[in-house]
Amino acid sequence: MPISPNNFPLSPTEQPGDAQSAPANAASTEVTHYVDGSGAMRTPNNTVIERDVSGNFNIYFPSLKRVEIADITAIVSHQINRVLNSTSHVIHFVGGGFFTMAYDQHGNLLSSQS
């Protein structure tokens, strides 16, 4: 299930550092939530998902092997840039959304933003 502000497993009533029980299908997921409504979740593959008090998310991947776009008709433009030993992709979507990703010549993720 995709993570969204509606299903992110954090409760604003918990105390800092309290852990919430993870769903049965995510036995090693660690969740930390704070009184101000922010929090963080570490998945079994060590991806860290943080949510700030405004509901904005930051996601930190240990590696990124694949990006999938479910509806290719939502793409307005896709630009590929190659500079020195890196490659970046910039994708703009209908409605103003975007996704960027840069990686080195060995496939190691340098940055990603959406």
Determine, yes or no, domain membership for 57.
Answer: yes
In the chain, how many domains are there? 2
Cβ-Cβ contacts under 8 Å for 22 (sequence gap 6 or more): 9, 28, 29, 30, 31
Domain residue limits at 38: 1-62
User: Does residue 32 share a domain with residue 2?
Assistant: yes
Determine, yes or no, domain membership for 7.
Answer: yes
| pTM higher than the cut 0.75 | no
Per-residue pLDDT averaged across 69-73, rounded? 92
* pLDDT tens digits, one per residue of 76-98: 999 999 999 999 999 999 999 99
User: Does residue 84 share a domain with residue 108?
Assistant: yes
User: Does residue 78 share a domain with residue 53?
Assistant: no
Per-residue pLDDT averaged across 44-67, rounded? 81
Determine, yes or no, domain membership for 67.
Answer: no
Per-residue pLDDT averaged across 16-21, rounded? 43
Q: With the C-alpha atoms ordered 5, 2, 22, 101, is the resulting torsion angle positive or negative? A: negative
User: Does residue 42 share a domain with residue 80?
Assistant: no
User: Does residue 99 share a domain with residue 81?
Assistant: yes
User: Does residue 104 share a domain with residue 58?
Assistant: no
User: Does residue 7 share a domain with residue 53?
Assistant: yes
Q: Is the pLDDT of residue 3 over 80?
A: no
